[in-house]
């Protein structure tokens, strides 16, 4: 759904520790994503926003929320017009297409392409 929070990501230096902490604290059922990346996902039953927990590529921990959009590039363009900055251009990966931008205060926010249901 466009313009709704679609995903939350928590990453840091020790992805395994974060996975265990958040999984145990909230009772999340997490599944390892395919491949070598230390990253797990939680897709809630019965509604709610999914989440990813894992190791940050640069080691710096952060929490990012992603908003769904039919056209992520249009959102990045509009963010720049409103005073934001693109920090990661629209990137296509095997299971997701997304980009990252900062708001005028420097908060990193993601935009993710809506997936057909």
Residues 69-115: pLDDT tens digits?
A: 999 999 999 999 999 999 999 999 888 999 999 999 899 999 999 77
d(CA 8, CA 109): 10
d(CA 85, CA 107): 10
Residue located via tokens 């070598």? 36
Give the mean model confidence (pLDDT) for residues 46-69: 88
Above 50 in pLDDT, residue 27?
Answer: yes
Residue 93 CB neighbour total at 10 angstroms: 7
Domains defined along the chain, listed by start: 5-113 (3.10.180.10)
Strand bridging mode 30-32 / 5-12? unpaired
pTM of the predicted model, to two decimals?
Answer: 0.80
Q: Which of 28, 63, 68 is nearest to 45 (CA)?
A: 28
Cβ atoms of 43 and 73 within 8 Å: the answer is no
């Amino acid at each position: 759904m466009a313009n709704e929070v679609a995903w939350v990501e928590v990453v840091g230096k020790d992805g395994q520790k974060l996975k265990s902490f958040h999984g145990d604290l909230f009772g999340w059922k997490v599944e390892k994503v395919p491949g070598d990346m230390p990253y797990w996902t939680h897709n809630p039953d019965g509604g709610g926003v999914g989440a990813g927990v894992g190791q940050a590529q640069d080691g710096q921990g952060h929490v990012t929320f992603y908003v769904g959009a039919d056209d992520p590039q249009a959102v990045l363009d509009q963010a720049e017009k409103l005073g934001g900055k693109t920090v990661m251009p629209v990137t296509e990966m095997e299971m997701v297409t997304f980009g990252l931008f900062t708001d005028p205060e420097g908060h990193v926010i993601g935009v993710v392409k809506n997936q057909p249901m």
